[in-house]
Amino acid sequence: MRLRNVPHAKKLIVRHPDKIVSLGGDEDILLNERFPKERPLEVEIGAGKGRFIHTLAKGNPTCDHIAVEKYDSVIIRALERVIDDPLPNLLLVRADAEHLDRFFRPRSLRRIYLNFSDPWPKKRHEKRRLTHPDFLAMYKELLEPGGRIEFKTDNRKFFEYSLKTMNRAGMRFLFLSLDLHSEELSDNIMTEFEERYGKNGPIYKITASFEEGHNEETVQGTA
Ligand SMILES: C[S@@+](CC[C@H](N)C(=O)[O-])C[C@H]1O[C@@H](n2cnc3c(N)ncnc32)[C@H](O)[C@@H]1O
Active site residue 118: yes
pLDDT at 219: 52
Q: Ligand 1: distance of its center to the CA of 214 in Å?
A: 31
Residues 11-29: pLDDT tens digits? 899 999 999 999 998 998 9
pLDDT tens readout for residues 164-221: 999 999 999 999 999 999 988 778 999 999 999 888 899 999 999 998 766 655 455 5
Q: How many CB atoms lie within 10 A of CB 170?
A: 11
Q: What is the pLDDT of residue 168?
A: 97
Residues 25-35 have pLDDT tens digits of 899 899 999 99
pLDDT for position 198: 87
Q: pLDDT-derived band of residue 142, with 50, 70 and 90 as boundaries?
A: very high
Tell me the pLDDT band of 2, cut-offs 50, 70 and 90.
Answer: very low
DSSP 21-76: EE--S-----GGGGSSS---EEEEES-TT-HHHHHHHHH-TTSEEEEEES-HHHHH
* Ligand 1 neighbour 204 (Cβ under 6 A): no
Is 50 a pocket residue for ligand 1 (Cβ < 6 Å)? no
Query: What local confidence, expressed as pLDDT, does residue 216 receive?
Result: 59
pLDDT averaged over every residue in the chain: 92
Calculate what percentage of the chain has a pLDDT beyond 90. Answer: 84
How far is Cα 48 from Cα 132, in angstroms, rounded to an integer? 20
The closest-lying atom of ligand 1 relative to the alpha carbon of residue 51 is 9
Weakest-pLDDT range from 38-42, 66-70, 178-182, 183-187: 183-187
Testing ligand 1's pocket by substitution, the residue of 20, 130, 203 carrying the most ligand atoms inside 8 A of its CB is 130
pLDDT > 70 in the chain, percent: 93
**What is the structure's pLDDT at 186?**
75
**DSSP string of the chain?**
-TTS--TTHHHHHHT-TTTEEE--S-----GGGGSSS---EEEEES-TT-HHHHHHHHH-TTSEEEEEES-HHHHHHHHHHHHHS--TTEEEEE--GGGGGGTS-TT-EEEEEEES-----SGGGGGGSTTSHHHHHHHHHHEEEEEEEEEEES-HHHHHHHHHHHHHTTPEEEEEES-GGGS--S-PPPPHHHHHHGGGS--EEEEEESS---HHHH--S--
Q: Which of 18, 28, 118, 179 is catalytic?
A: 118
The pLDDT value recorded for residue 169 is 97
Give the per-residue pLDDT at 4: 55
Q: Which of 118, 191, 192, 194 to mutate to test the pocket of ligand 1 (most atoms within 8 A of CB)?
A: 118
pTM assigned to the model = 0.94
Ligand 1 atom closest to residue 152's alpha carbon, by position in its atom list: 8
CA of 130 to the centre of ligand 1 (A): 9
